[in-house]
Amino acid sequence: MSGALSFHFDVDGENFTMAGQASVQVKKNLRRLGLPPEVIRRVSIAMYEGEINMVIHAGGGHAEVVVAEDAIEIVLQDNGPGIANIEQAMQAGFSTAPDAIRSLGFGAGMGLPNMKRYTDEMDIQSEVGRGTRITMRVLLEN
Q: Which residues bind ligand ATP (CB under 6 A)?
A: 49, 53-54, 57-58, 78, 80-83, 89, 94-97, 106-112, 132
Residue 90 or residue 125: which is nearer to other proteins going by CB? 90
Task: Give least dist CB 47 to ligand ATP, A.
Answer: 13
Binding partner of 20, given Mg ion, ligand ATP, other proteins, none, CB within 5-8 angstroms per partner class: other proteins
Phi, psi (deg, nearest 5) at residue 51: -65, -45
Q: How far is CA 129 from CA 35, 126, 132, in A?
A: 38, 9, 9
Residue 10 DSSP code: E
Task: Give least dist CB 123 to other proteins, A.
Answer: 21
Q: How far is CA 34 from CA 28, 67, 102, in A?
A: 10, 12, 35
Contact between 81 and other proteins per CB under 8 A: no
